[in-house]
Structure 1
Amino acid sequence: MIVRDLLLGPKRYKDLLEGLPGMGTNILAARLKELEQATIIRRRVLPPPAGSTVYELTTYGRELEDILMTLTRWGAKSLGPRQPEQFLRPVTLVLGLRERFKSEAACHLQAVYELRFEDDETYTIRIANGSLEASYGSAGNPDLVVTADVETFLQLQERHLLPQEAMASRKVQLDGNSDLFTPFLELFDVDGRSAVPSGVSGACDQ
């Protein structure tokens, strides 16, 4: 879970702790120490004005990404309907976007999106040349900011809720070029099987 939470960029200890409900401070500290000793993660101090100490994956640790995502796809095949007591974390949803991404559908779209979820979790999605890049944090100068809770975004993604309905009911708020919202949702397969692996732009090279 720690490695999963670091796939989209570095995080502070506080952020890791908040994102791993049920994990005590002593357990998290021990796991981080073990991962550091195994050279899977490292600590780094951000430059001013932030100056915070963050944890991030090493080059060696990032090699786990394909393994983790393969395990995720494998495990998803045996999952039944999500139960009320089960919750979906924003990081899981954003990682899922990468898996569902249809590269060929994004060949003519170039835009930067900022996704804002509950608990002040913010992610940047960059679409260019048929590829998708996802990372933690604000985009700086996004073309469109999308604010919604995870459940609403998931319903939109799976086509259980139309964009117009979500905006009319204020379940989603848009700030910027709202014309980019529907094209964004259309970049992802409903069934979770992308035709071209995320981050690969080969479908646009023709």
Structure 2
Amino acid sequence: MANDMMRADAQDNRRRILAAAEKVYGSGEDASTERVAELAHVGIATVFRHFPTKAALLEAVLVTRLERLREQAQALLGAADPGAALTGFFAHLVADAAGKLAIAGALQASGGDGTDAERASYALHAAVGELLTRAQEAGAVRADLGLDEFYALLIGASRGVAAMDLDETARDRMLDVVFAGLRPVDGEPRTS
């Protein structure tokens, strides 16, 4: 029983550390493991017991974030309006991009190899592909658009919004232009 309680405490500490690290490294505030420990209400030794290096912590944060996004994409696969599900998720990814890019940049600067994050990113890519296919089958998105082109638009929009630090109004106008380009051309057949 005591062992189970220790495991539960350790799991709770790990969750709090990951949440604190996501906030610290994703917001650009003073990015230090000491700040992570402070926000997680644990000692620095506890942080390093769970994540022996800063790179390990950053990769775990990025993987957690990417897995959460993949789960959100998969949850949208059953949406009644596949087009709205796709564009809504696209907008969510663009709005979320600055934090994700900050964490990815910190991981790269820390010397982490990013292998686990790369796998999580691939899984997210596949889930977005499923959303795209559903939207195309419903006739909501042009059928001649491949996943690679769609993802290039997504990455470009995400990086552009983050680099320009666009306010919500400007971001929404930019997304309206992108979404207009995704609409099917008149008379275009649906995919099947």
TM-score, structure 2 length as denominator? 0.28
Which has the larger share of strand? Answer: 1
Larger Rg: 2
TM-score, structure 1 length as denominator? 0.27
Which has the larger share of helix? Answer: 2
